[in-house]
Structure 1
Amino acid sequence: MDSTWLDNNVVAAIQTNWLSIVLGLVVILALHFLARKRIGFGTRVLIALGLGLVAGVVLNAAEANYDAIQLIGSIYVNLIRMVVIPLVFVLVINSIISITDTGYLKKIGGKTIGWFLLTTGIAAVIGLLTALALNPGAGIDAQTPEDFQAREVPTLFQVILDQVPNNPISDAANGKVVPILIFALFIAIATVKLGEKKPETVQPFKAFIQSATEIMHQVIKFVLRFTPYGVFALIAVMAARYGLETLEPLARLIGVSYAALIIHFVLIFGGLVLLVAKVNPIKFFKKAYPTIAVAFTTRSSYATLPVNLEVITKRLRVSPRVASFVAPLGATMNFNGCGGIWPAIVAVFVADIFGINLSFADYILIVLVSAISSIGVAGVPGPASISTTVVLTALGLPLEGIAIVASVEALIDMGRTAVNATGTTVTSLLVANSEGEFDREAFDRDVEDELELNPA
């Protein structure tokens, strides 16, 4: 390689990114200092979020390049993706082989999916009512971007076929979580069945899986220590990329979306925690904060899975076997925000800006299709986009509406993902409480259940 070319590129990168490099280094050193002082993980994530917002506003105002900071966020996301596939594989197997009663497995599976469907249906109702009350399309002139291309909605049969494992190695390499989850289920159930007849045959495999689970937990701790730095970078890039001129035309849609998300978050999640699990919702949300913060900043339920497992078991005191079953499943098919609230709001928004009147029957269809499609698109890339396309198609609304909201969808997706991940956390608590797998005394202790994610 020509060293002159390399030197010139290094100099050019520094010249165009000097402001983001300086800001990045200052914040990284500050966050590392806080970690060395044993400041709590959740507190550091919150500080990182605020610093990222400030840095992003500065970069946007200066019209500066933010590639250096974006690199930090990309590295963090890649590290999270690195652990997701092996984590799901060993957790699902470990959780099932620890359950000797297959009836129990069916019971918690039914409860988990039932709560997912119920809360997503309620989310769709809240999204619909909020949109009807606040009219997110007010003042918007429906103009379709010239380069818009509607996403093709896969058929039901294609969705089902895509989730069936074909080549587990290829599926893992392509980041397909659902086929890996199903493959793990086959192995786990086969292990349980064979163990009933020949326990000595499966004992070495059980020991291997248990050991692999412990090792993966340690790997997760290593990776999650980078979370505050990743949160800072992801928020900074988001703030730097979108200026006020981008947000102004659709500010009302952003406000209506977050209003619906907050209502669902506080009233539904808080109500279920209080009335069903008999737990103080304020204490619950405080303990669940790391999950909320990571989901909000990464915009990925899969990326949030490792920290959510830590939160559910270490802070909420849910048994590992329930957490290991519910959390991976939730990251795959629990879309309260993306599959419930968002499609309902977009449907009302599109109907309004195109001057189309919706009937009461259409409202019922929005709720039903939203809830069902949220499960049906499990594992499909961009579930919010697909769910919204399904709902608009079912109502006969113009798909061009999806292009109109595309410019602000990333900002709204932060809140949607936080609601998705928190919904999985709530479901874990509800299922564990109903099965006697929730340590209420440990949860209620007045101690700080801080995640051990400070540098050693």
Structure 2
Amino acid sequence: MQLTTKILLGLGLGILVGLILTGSPDIATTYIKPFGTLFLNLIKMIIVPLVFSSLIVGAASVGDVKKLGRIGGKTVGYYLCTTAIAVTIGLILGNVFEPGAGMTIPVTAEIATKEAPALVDTLLNIFPKNPLKGLVEGNMLQIICFALFLGIGATSLPEEKGKPFIDFFDSLAEIMYKITAFIMSLAPYGVFALIAPVVATNGPAVLLPLLKVIIAVYIGCILHAVLVYSSAVKAFAKISPIKFFKGIMPAALTAFSTTSSSGTLPVSIKCVRENLGVSEGVSSFVLPLGATINMDGTALYQGVCALFVAQVYGLDLSMSQQLTIILTATLASIGTAGVPGAGFIMLTMVVKSVGLPLEGVALIGGIDRVLDMARTCVNVIGDTSAAAVIAATEGELHYPDEKISA
């Protein structure tokens, strides 16, 4: 039985057990959730050493600083374009479904707002004053920056001095890939243990009043993945949508259950390298960057939820306000990079940018975990599509009929 099938079974069984335990959520939280937490901890354990080592090797394998800049420009451009498309799809669906129309939910909860850092501050914070502190804290942008400098610096040295350094991190990266494979063999159990408590705690009852929001977000995520990502991969990488989605399915399912783009990163790297044939250099650069700044699913969710809040309060958003939402959500995808709870911060930013009542965000709180699963899944699919597209444009994609190295 393939790993993807096992993960799907774990997901289905988790939902079933969660529904059975809806009346007794404490059982799921006490006895099942710890296994899910353990699985997440194992994944988080390998993120920093895997990203750090693979980025150094990736930068060293590119060697040319101009080429690295070209790949970086393509990657950021791809992410910003797809994010703008995603939030546009969200706004269209929000207008079509009108999820907040006719709802009269009293809003009493206070929202503790947290300002997102300014874009300039985020860009300056990419360059670490203390790189070791960045590694310890898991600051992905700083880790990416420091690793790129080390990789480029190592290739600038004479071979006898730079090669031992690169060989060490190459060996470390291969070790991390092996550990990733072992952890992924536990994924079906981890997915089961993560989903069951969520379903048991929330149950179907809490989801029904806000079902239209959930349906709009999920339809938007599916449309974005099928129309935008598969079209891009087909046009640039010449990979059929079926092969693409089949190849990245383990990463998509892991993202759906863990709601963590960074936590899914080891799986994403493994999928694009082994199943899509993306080179080590491109995957080691594009995917960590995407896990940090690419928020297509989150941006789509912003569009739907902003209109939902407006409709609940009986407010009409003009076309210029909706364009403001597109711009704010697109720029916020970079501006909130590396900030815990980035999706929530982005939503408060978007709501404030068009003058909507901030308390409306509280209405989304009860279903945010359900929405988070869909938007994180789309974020990760977007990362993997970018890796395939960038690799193809750089001539570093081994097509399915060729031998793909692990």
Q: What TM-score do the two structures reach when normalised by structure 1?
A: 0.85
Aligned residue in 2 for 1:182: 145
Matched ranges for 1:48-59 at <5 A: 48-59=10-21
Higher Cα radius of gyration? 1
Separation in 2, partners of 1:83, 1:289: 21
Matched ranges for 1:67-216 at <5 A: 67-193=30-156, 195=157, 198-216=158-176
* Compared CA separation, residues 254 and 88, structure 1 to 2 (3 A): same
1:413 to 368, 372, 396: 372
* Secondary structure of 2:154 counterpart: helix
Aligned: 1:390 with 2:352: no
- Residue type of the alignment partner of 1:216: M
2:389 to 394, 419, 430: 430
1:227–1:294 Cα contact (<8 Å) kept: yes
Q: CA deviation at 1:158?
A: 4.2
Aligned residue in 1 for 2:335: 376
1:247 to 181, 204, 207: 207
Aligned: 1:43 with 2:11: no
Map Cα deviations across residues 133-190 of structure 1 (whole Å, 9 max, x no partner).
1101123225223343223333345434544423333333333222222221222222
* Compared CA separation, residues 146 and 101, structure 1 to 2 (3 A): closer
- Residue type of the alignment partner of 1:349: F
* Secondary structure of 1:243 counterpart: helix
Separation in 2, partners of 1:158, 1:322: 27
* Compared CA separation, residues 162 and 110, structure 1 to 2 (3 A): closer
2:279–2:397 Cα contact (<8 Å) kept: yes
- Which one has more relative contact order, counting CA pairs under 8 Å at least 6 apart? 2
Aligned residue in 2 for 1:335: 295
Separation in 2, partners of 1:90, 1:256: 40
Separation in 1, partners of 2:344, 2:130: 27
2:336–2:345 Cα contact (<8 Å) kept: yes
Separation in 2, partners of 1:371, 1:358: 18
1:363 to 322, 325, 328: 322
1:165–1:171 Cα contact (<8 Å) kept: yes
Separation in 1, partners of 2:194, 2:108: 27
Q: Which sits farther off after the overlay, 175-184 or 42-51?
A: 175-184
- Residue type of the alignment partner of 1:57: L
Q: Percent identity?
A: 38
* Compared CA separation, residues 286 and 224, structure 1 to 2 (3 A): same
1:305 to 265, 275, 288: 265
Question: What count of residue pairs does the alignment treat as equivalent?
Answer: 405
Matched ranges for 1:346-361 at <5 A: 346-361=305-320
Aligned residue in 2 for 1:31: none
2:286–2:383 Cα contact (<8 Å) kept: yes
Separation in 2, partners of 1:120, 1:255: 20
Separation in 1, partners of 2:139, 2:236: 34
- Give 5+ residue unaligned stretches, structure 2: none
- Residue type of the alignment partner of 1:382: G
Map Cα deviations across residues 390-421 of structure 1 (whole Å, 9 max, x no partner).
21121111111111101101001001001000
Separation in 2, partners of 1:418, 1:259: 13
Q: CA deviation at 1:121?
A: 0.6
Separation in 2, partners of 1:183, 1:242: 42
Separation in 2, partners of 1:114, 1:63: 44
2:110–2:359 Cα contact (<8 Å) kept: no
Separation in 1, partners of 2:352, 2:258: 29
Q: CA deviation at 1:354?
A: 1.3
- Residue type of the alignment partner of 1:380: V
Q: CA deviation at 1:274?
A: 2.2
- Residue type of the alignment partner of 2:240: N
Map Cα deviations across residues 171-227 of structure 1 (whole Å, 9 max, x no partner).
33333222222221222222233x2xx332212111111111111111212222211
Separation in 1, partners of 2:400, 2:9: 31
Aligned residue in 2 for 1:12: none
2:265–2:288 Cα contact (<8 Å) kept: yes
1:143–1:404 Cα contact (<8 Å) kept: no
Q: Which sits farther off after the overlay, 250-259 or 175-184?
A: 175-184
Separation in 2, partners of 1:375, 1:49: 31
Aligned residue in 2 for 1:24: none
Separation in 1, partners of 2:109, 2:80: 37
1:317–1:442 Cα contact (<8 Å) kept: no
1:150–1:400 Cα contact (<8 Å) kept: no
Separation in 1, partners of 2:314, 2:117: 28
Separation in 1, partners of 2:317, 2:279: 46
Map Cα deviations across residues 42-80 of structure 1 (whole Å, 9 max, x no partner).
111111111111111111144552111100000000111
Separation in 1, partners of 2:207, 2:237: 39
- Give 5+ residue unaligned stretches, structure 1: 1-38
- Residue type of the alignment partner of 2:303: A
Aligned: 1:315 with 2:275: yes
Map Cα deviations across residues 70-110 of structure 1 (whole Å, 9 max, x no partner).
00000000111100011111111110011122221111111
2:218–2:374 Cα contact (<8 Å) kept: yes
